[in-house]
Structure 1
Amino acid sequence: MFSERLKRLRMEKGITQKELADRLHISRSTIAGYESLGKEPDGEKLCALADFFGVSVDYLLGGTDSRNPISPTPAPPSAAQRPVEAAIAGELSSLSDRQLDRLLGYIQALKELPEGAASQNTSIVEKNASSENSSAAG
């Protein structure tokens, strides 16, 4: 049941075993084992697969035919979370993988600047982030 559902979800998404493996940071042969050899992932990988495909773990394992994960009621932002953090977190899900990589580069470059220098050195931040992303892609 798991192997069939995993393969069906991957095919519906139009991605190869290699692409799925790369996204989950595992080997292609592991995905192949899940799809054809009856191997099942550990809990962490199972959750990652469910998150990636937007389905419940129960669906992947055949416990239900409903693909929709049960959405917990979102917790209100903690008192320690600043409004800007909540705003950023709310925007992350709309970004592509490439955009998320660029954002991470910007954040890393900002952290390297002296305190208060970020607004004065925007071009440096963008240059550093761009060079990090191009070296990571190569």
Structure 2
Amino acid sequence: MFCKRLSQLRKRSNLTQEQLAKELGISRGSLSMYEIGKREPDFLTLQKVAHFFSVTSDFLIGLSDDPHGYGSLPPLYRELTEITEEEIDYLRESLEAYRKVKQKWE
């Protein structure tokens, strides 16, 4: 599973094997072996790949189909991971206004 997901993530990011290998601090040959399933990464390399692509190691090795690990979060938190900057600004302003009104009544 790791080989397939690594290859997909690299291609979606429009990176060559050489470019990704350089980013991860490994040889292109090692990366190629990972992608064709001839070698498995050590734990440190697995962590580097997960961090680089902002996915969980469980996703990379096939223990989860949720790349970001949001599935275990309550629905409200999952929604917050998709919020835009504009929505964040609106929520901040609304919260400030609410706190001012609440403070007046206390």
After TM superposition, the score normalised by the length of structure 1 is 0.49
Query: By how many angstroms is 1:69 displaced?
Result: 4.0
8 Å contact kept, 1:54–1:69: no
The residue type paired with residue 41 of structure 1 is P
Query: By how many angstroms is 1:6 displaced?
Result: 0.3
Over residues 38-88 of structure 1, what are the superposed CA-to-partner deviations in whole Å (9 max), with x where a residue is unaligned?
311100000000000010000000000000046xxxxxxxxxxxxxxxxxx
SS at match of 2:23: helix
Aligned to 2:74: none
Identity %: 40
Q: Distance in 2 between matches of 1:60 and 1:9?
A: 10
Q: Distance in 1 between matches of 2:65 and 2:42?
A: 21
8 Å contact kept, 1:3–1:35: yes
Aligned to 1:38: 38
Query: By how many angstroms is 1:27 displaced?
Result: 0.3
Larger relative CO (CA 8 A, sep 6+): 1 or 2?
2
The residue type paired with residue 33 of structure 2 is G
1:17 aligns with 2:6: no
Q: Distance in 2 between matches of 1:11 and 1:31?
A: 13
Q: Distance in 1 between matches of 2:38 and 2:69?
A: 23
The residue type paired with residue 39 of structure 1 is R
Unaligned ranges ≥5, structure 1: 71-138
Aligned to 1:104: none
Aligned to 1:62: 62
Aligned length: 70
After TM superposition, the score normalised by the length of structure 2 is 0.63
1:5 aligns with 2:44: no
The residue type paired with residue 20 of structure 2 is L
Q: Which has the higher helix share?
A: 2
Residues 52 and 20 (structure 1), Cα distance of their counterparts in 2 relative to 1, 3 Å cut: same
**Displaced runs of 4+ in structure 1, greater than 4 A?**
none
Q: Distance in 2 between matches of 1:65 and 1:38?
A: 23
8 Å contact kept, 1:50–1:60: yes
